[in-house]
Amino acid sequence: MKRLDGILQGLELIKAEFWLPLPLVGILFWLGGTAIARQVLHNSYSSPSYLQADTQLDMKLSVTVLVIKAAIDQSRNTTTVSIKTTDSNLKKLEYEFSSADPRQIETAIAQEIGLPVQEVRKLIRYRISN
């Protein structure tokens, strides 16, 4: 009995009532965390398996067009178009068309920015290079 009393006194000195259950609490946290991680990792999520990057952005301009400059490169049969606007956020638009024909260019610009072809003809300025 004295031996048991000596052991209990020794445990009281090192505060065993705090330290003895600590490994048990740690094991419970570890097992609980493992179970939660396994449950989360085994759930399937419905996300697409591919990205769609071939779509065009439809844009409607609600700004006033100041000038349209078209640089026709006859050697490459392309036209680079620069459109200046009055909007403070969208000051300049640039397009490149695979045509050197002014009528096709005017029609394409009208479709892109939503203006009538007659309005585009009034605003457009051409520069032709060989």
Q: Does residue 126 have a pLDDT over 60?
A: yes
Q: Does residue 124 have a pLDDT over 90?
A: yes
Per-residue pLDDT reduced to its tens digit, 59-98: 565 668 889 999 999 899 999 999 998 877 788 889 999 9
Please tell me the pTM assigned to this model: 0.52
- Selecting from 3.30.70, 3.30.420, 3.90.1150, 1.10.8, what CATH number does the domain 65-129 have? 3.30.420
Q: Compute the distance between CA of residue 67 and CA of residue 32 in angstroms, rounded to an integer.
A: 68
**Domain layout of the chain by residue ranges:** 2-42, 65-129
Cβ-based burial of 58 (10 A; exposed 0-12, middle 13-18, buried ≥19) = exposed
Q: Compute the distance between CA of residue 54 and CA of residue 80 in angstroms, rounded to an integer.
A: 22
